[in-house]
Structure 1
Amino acid sequence: MHSSSTSGSRLSLHSFFNRLPFKVLAFSTVLLPFHSINAGKAVHQFDSVVNQNKLTVVSVENPTTVFKDGQHLHGFGYDLVRNYADSMNVKLEFKTVSDNATALKWVSSGKANFAMTTSSIQSIEKQQLTAFSASCGDLNTLKRNGLNSELNWVFKHADDPLSQTASNFVCRGKQNGSITQLASFYNRNVVKQESWDVIQRDLRNRLPLYKANFKKTATQYDLDWHLLAAIGYQESYLKPNSVSPTGVRGIMMLTNNTAKAMGVSNRTDPAQSIQGGAKYYDQMLSRYEHIPFPDRNWYALVAYNMGPGAVSQIQKRIRSQGKNPNNWVNLYAYLDRNKASNGRYRQAVQYVTRIRAYLEHIKTTPQLVNI
């Protein structure tokens, strides 16, 4: 691990903010009170981040912070931190540890610039560290979406510009609605609790029948077979004879035109359907190769559901609003804001959030992992 000390010439605070893509301190009057202040004059983590062009964050893996999907990470906490690193125009190095106590030690020792934990304030203060709410105190938004409202960002010093810019970034997200949208996407209640028993029964009974096909096809296209299985469950509940009122068929619910384009002659044949669905999804991923993972997965899923042309139209509208059309939070926010008046948007929101939930469920449920 790198040291938190700095070397070489240092950027001034003023010159650093001049190179940001937007002013992180635009809401500088909205600062949360810190729970404790360490008066020491140690080297600021801000200097280390700027000079090394790298932000190192440590966290415990849990449903609110981060979920490992193969080589990629996603989760409410992870995406929030990732967006903060992007706002600073630095690389994010995200580390996971086994418990919150270890995460706090990493901050104390300088192994991490800050930690994301659900530790009690008492535990944080005992380590002479400082913390603020990862939702800028908007606890109801997290609770409503089944997320842990006690999620905090923990720093070594309250007077470090890094902790100050971070709190401003979070509160800016609260004011512009991006935290609400992010929490909505990672909603743990997107599938009602009573439905999970049915879903688990379905997966336990049907997944073993098609697991070999999912794995073989995923290997061919360098995809995660769990994700393909989650798409298949959302599309058809893994029923090969499924037919929708619009005429799509099979496990992956392909249209007749898509099936022909993917070389599928029999849409109700499980192996062909899975092959065709994987090939089409892989093509959608290729369309968004300029977008980093995990966002690329979500864009590809929306395109799989709505068609890439519809996604392109939404991206144009986002761009016309002066926002980044290649940022998933912006695309999801657009769909979510307009879903009440547009049935396709409502379906797309449900589609991608449910697949995310199924993916996490399949990969973390022992009975399913060992099928």
Structure 2
Amino acid sequence: MQNKLSGVARRLRLTCQTNKLPVRLSIITALAMLPLLQLHAISSKKETNEYVDVMNNNRLTVVSVKSPNTVFNNGQSLHGFGYDLMRNYAKSLNVQLDFKIVADETTALQLVADGKANMALTNASMQTIENKKLNFFSATCGNLNSLEKHGLSSNISLVVSNATDPLAQTATGFTCKANDNGYIDQLASFYNHNTVDENSWETIEQDLKKRMPIYKASFKREAQKYNFDWQFLAAMGYQESYLKPNSVSPTGVRGLMMLTNNTAKAMGVTDRNNPQQSIQGGAKYLDQLLEQYEDIAYPDRAWYALVAYNMGPGALSTIQSKVSKQGKNPNEWINIYTYLKTHQVSNGKYKQAVQYVTRIRAYIEHIQSNEAGTLDV
């Protein structure tokens, strides 16, 4: 077995070096990636060059089933650990990502088998994938701990039809580089499924059942004006005030959407304690912030707008400048998040901003799940 794994490790190392991605491979990583290298002989289908097709069409088609560790809908766009991983893989290829959510794993795998998708991001079992005569490898280059410690399922794989296709080789190289440079850890941290304490969900659910019906129509009406999902706005309202229209903070912000006096005036709100006016002002301000960051792609733009709503655009601009001085892209959310997370011990406002965005993300997912019973994209 040791000799077999050593051979696998050598081939894995060669793959990464071919893509100029030097990666140290452990036995665990080799085991996680073993299926990609062994299942080539399983498929008797006519081999095609998926990589050439992707590059010629300038489009990478990935299919997935919604789940906490793959993809969700934040009302503005898709988001999720797996989705962001694939978004950055497509970016590394300099192609557009066509990400499709399907009803079940069988459908996702069949689309790959039929050549209608380049790959599937899946939580399906090894046996299920093998039964389809498909090939797969760990979407995290064998890094299971990062997902597990953040409450995410470590059973996440990328499925391809042909293990020797250059697309499979570049994908394994990308995920291993993402693991090596810490991107996997950072992404898992942001999508932490334990952001809200498990014991708090009962209280949250009681609050939502009691108060949401009162303000739901207002959230829907105002969100429709600006073409964003009402549940996104409602999640903000719950984070701001627990949907209590008479809320007041020690700094003087007040109302259901906790507007400052200056922001309220600028948004045309004359009575911050009036819930309809507060929701109207909050929606208008959120829309302006989303426009301010229009050069940033979704879903990152939504997270930028939330930080700016919480801290102010000026404070976010300062953080972007600091990130830029570190030699990192200030218009990529993971860099802003990492900076806030790294410095939150010394700056309480940074800690508050991290909690603000991650909790709203969790509330969006919870509200949408409860409303629809499933996720509509």
TM-score exceeds 0.5 = yes
Q: What letter is aligned with 2:250?
A: P
Which residues in structure 2 correspond to 1:110-125 (within 5 Å)?
110-125=115-130
Deviation at 1:69, TM superposition (A): 3.5
Q: Distance in 1 between matches of 2:360 and 2:192?
A: 12
Tell whether 2:146 aligns with 1:136. Answer: no
8 Å CA contact 2:75, 2:228 repeated in 1: no
Cα shift readout 1:15-52 (whole Å, capped 9, x = no counterpart): xxxxxxxx964236658533133146712211111111
Q: Distance in 2 between matches of 1:165 and 1:49?
A: 12
Tell whether 2:314 aligns with 1:309. Answer: yes
Other-structure match for 2:21: 26
Cα shift readout 1:310-365 (whole Å, capped 9, x = no counterpart): 11111112222222211111111111122122111110000000001101111111
Q: Distance in 1 between matches of 2:250 and 2:19?
A: 49
Q: Structure 1's 60 and 229: CA in aligned 2 closer, same or farther, altered over 3 A? A: same
Residue 52 (structure 1) aligned to one of 44, 54, 57: 57
Tell whether 2:335 aligns with 1:330. Answer: yes
8 Å CA contact 1:203, 1:368 repeated in 2: no
Q: Structure 1's 335 and 360: CA in aligned 2 closer, same or farther, altered over 3 A? A: same
8 Å CA contact 1:136, 1:167 repeated in 2: yes
Which residues in structure 2 correspond to 1:151-230 (within 5 Å)?
151-230=156-235
Percent sequence identity over matched residues?
Answer: 58
Tell whether 2:292 aligns with 1:287. Answer: yes
1:150 aligned counterpart, secondary structure: coil
8 Å CA contact 1:25, 1:165 repeated in 2: no
Higher deviation after alignment, 215-224 or 141-150:
215-224
Deviation at 1:222, TM superposition (A): 2.2
Q: Structure 1's 281 and 49: CA in aligned 2 closer, same or farther, altered over 3 A? A: same
Which residues in structure 2 correspond to 1:259-274 (within 5 Å)?
259-274=264-279
8 Å CA contact 1:262, 1:280 repeated in 2: yes
Q: Distance in 2 between matches of 1:265 and 1:24?
A: 59
Unpaired segments ≥5 residues, structure 2: 1-17
Q: What letter is aligned with 1:81?
A: M
Other-structure match for 2:95: 90
Deviation at 1:182, TM superposition (A): 1.0
8 Å CA contact 1:132, 1:152 repeated in 2: yes
Cα shift readout 1:66-106 (whole Å, capped 9, x = no counterpart): 11244621111111101100111001111122221221222
Q: Distance in 1 between matches of 2:217 and 2:373?
A: 14
Q: Distance in 2 between matches of 1:257 and 1:68?
A: 32
1:95 aligned counterpart, secondary structure: strand
8 Å CA contact 1:252, 1:277 repeated in 2: yes
Q: Distance in 2 between matches of 1:117 and 1:77?
A: 9
8 Å CA contact 2:70, 2:83 repeated in 1: yes
2:39 aligned counterpart, secondary structure: coil
Tell whether 2:114 aligns with 1:109. Answer: yes
Q: Distance in 1 between matches of 2:178 and 2:211?
A: 42
8 Å CA contact 1:59, 1:115 repeated in 2: yes
Deviation at 1:220, TM superposition (A): 2.0
Q: Distance in 2 between matches of 1:158 and 1:100?
A: 20
Cα shift readout 1:131-153 (whole Å, capped 9, x = no counterpart): 11112111111111111111001
Q: Distance in 2 between matches of 1:231 and 1:24?
A: 43
Q: What letter is aligned with 2:115?
A: G
Q: Structure 1's 181 and 210: CA in aligned 2 closer, same or farther, altered over 3 A? A: same
Tell whether 2:365 aligns with 1:360. Answer: yes
8 Å CA contact 1:24, 1:87 repeated in 2: no
Deviation at 1:226, TM superposition (A): 0.9
Cα shift readout 1:187-228 (whole Å, capped 9, x = no counterpart): 111011111110011011011111121112112222221111
Q: What letter is aligned with 1:293?
A: Y
8 Å CA contact 1:362, 1:368 repeated in 2: no
Deviation at 1:60, TM superposition (A): 1.0
Other-structure match for 2:247: 242
Q: Structure 1's 281 and 71: CA in aligned 2 closer, same or farther, altered over 3 A? A: closer
Tell whether 2:154 aligns with 1:149. Answer: yes
8 Å CA contact 1:262, 1:279 repeated in 2: yes
Q: Distance in 2 between matches of 1:54 and 1:242?
A: 48
Q: Distance in 2 between matches of 1:368 and 1:51?
A: 39
Q: Structure 1's 229 and 368: CA in aligned 2 closer, same or farther, altered over 3 A? A: farther
Q: Structure 1's 203 and 152: CA in aligned 2 closer, same or farther, altered over 3 A? A: same
1:92 aligned counterpart, secondary structure: strand
Deviation at 1:126, TM superposition (A): 2.7
8 Å CA contact 1:85, 1:92 repeated in 2: yes
Deviation at 1:367, TM superposition (A): 8.4
> What root-mean-square deviation, in Å, do the aligned CA atoms of Structure 1 and Structure 2 show?
1.9
8 Å CA contact 1:34, 1:130 repeated in 2: no
Q: Distance in 2 between matches of 1:210 and 1:42?
A: 56
Q: What letter is aligned with 2:88?
A: N
Q: What letter is aligned with 2:34?
A: F
Q: Distance in 2 between matches of 1:195 and 1:83?
A: 33
Higher deviation after alignment, 291-300 or 28-37:
28-37
